[in-house]
Chain A
Amino acid sequence: MASLAPERRLGRLERPAMTGVFVRELVNYSAYWRSSAFSSTVEPTIYLLAFGFGFGSLVSRVGGFEYVEFVGTGTVATAVLFSSAFPAMFGTFVKYKFQRTYDAVLAAPVDTEELVTAEALWMAVRAGVYGCVPLLVALVFGLDPSWGMLTVPGIAFVAGFGWACFGISIAGFASSIENFNYVVSAVITPLFLVAGTFFPLSELPRWAQIAGNFNPLHHCVELVRHAAFGFEGVTDLARLGVLVLFGLLMWRIAIFAMTRKLVD
Chain B
Amino acid sequence: MSGDLAIRLRGVVKRYGPITAVDGLDLDVPEGTCVGLLGPNGAGKSTTMRLLTAQAIADEGELEVLGFRLPEESKAARAQCGVVPQLDNLDTTLTVEQNLLVFTYLYRIGRKERRQAIERALTMANLVDRRKDRADKLSGGMRRRLLIARALVHRPRLVLLDEPTVGLDPQVRQELWALIDALRAEGTTILMSTHYIEEAQRLADTVLIMSHGSAVAAGPPAQLVADHAGREAVEVYGPPPRLAEAEAAARAAGLLTRRTGTSVSVLGIEAADGRAPEGERRPANLEDVFVLLTGEEID
Contact = CB atoms under 8 A, between A and B. Distances in A.
Interface of A: 1-10, 16-17, 19-21, 23-24, 27-28, 31-32, 99-101, 103-111, 262-264
Contacts of A8: 76
A3 B155 contact: yes
B155 A1 contact: yes
Contacts of B50: 264
A92 to B, nearest CB: 15
Nearest to A105: B106
Contacts of A104: 83, 85, 89-90, 150
A20 B106 contact: yes
Contacts, number: 122
A42 to B, nearest CB: 22
Q: Which 8 A-B pairs have the closest CB atoms?
A: A20-B106, A107-B83, A100-B89, A264-B56, A108-B106, A109-B79, A20-B105, A5-B79
A108 to B, nearest CB: 4
Given A5-B79, A5-B156, A107 B107 contact: no
A1 B98 contact: no
Interface of B: 14, 16, 47, 50, 53-57, 68, 73, 75-76, 78-81, 83, 85, 87-94, 98, 101-103, 105-110, 113, 117, 150, 154-157, 186-188
A13 to B, nearest CB: 11
A75 B50 CA distance: 45
Contact of B87 (A7, A23, A100, A111): A100
A107 B55 contact: yes
Contacts of A106: 53, 55
B53 A107 contact: yes
Nearest to B67: A7
Given A5-B107, A264-B55, A20 B78 contact: no
B258 to A, nearest CB: 34
Nearest to A99: B89
B79 to A, nearest CB: 4
Given A99-B92, A109-B76, 15 more contacts: A3-B156, A4-B107, A4-B154, A5-B107, A9-B76, A10-B75, A21-B106, A24-B91, A27-B94, A28-B94, A99-B91, A101-B89, A109-B106, A109-B108, A264-B47
Q: Which of B93, B105, B150, B187 has the most CB of A within 10 A?
A: B105
A32 B93 contact: yes
Nearest to B14: A264
A31 B94 contact: yes
B82 to A, nearest CB: 8
A107 B154 contact: no
Given A24-B102, A103-B55, A1 B188 contact: yes
A3 B75 contact: no
A3 B82 CA distance: 11
28 contacts: A1-B186, A3-B80, A3-B154, A3-B157, A4-B107, A4-B109, A4-B154, A5-B156, A6-B108, A10-B79, A16-B105, A17-B106, A20-B108, A23-B105, A32-B93, A100-B85, A101-B89, A103-B89, A104-B89, A107-B81, A108-B107, A109-B106, A109-B108, A111-B75, A263-B56, A264-B50, A264-B55, A264-B57
A147 B119 CA distance: 49
A205 to B, nearest CB: 48
Contacts of A1: 155, 186-188
B146 to A, nearest CB: 12
Contact of A27 (B79, B92, B102): B102
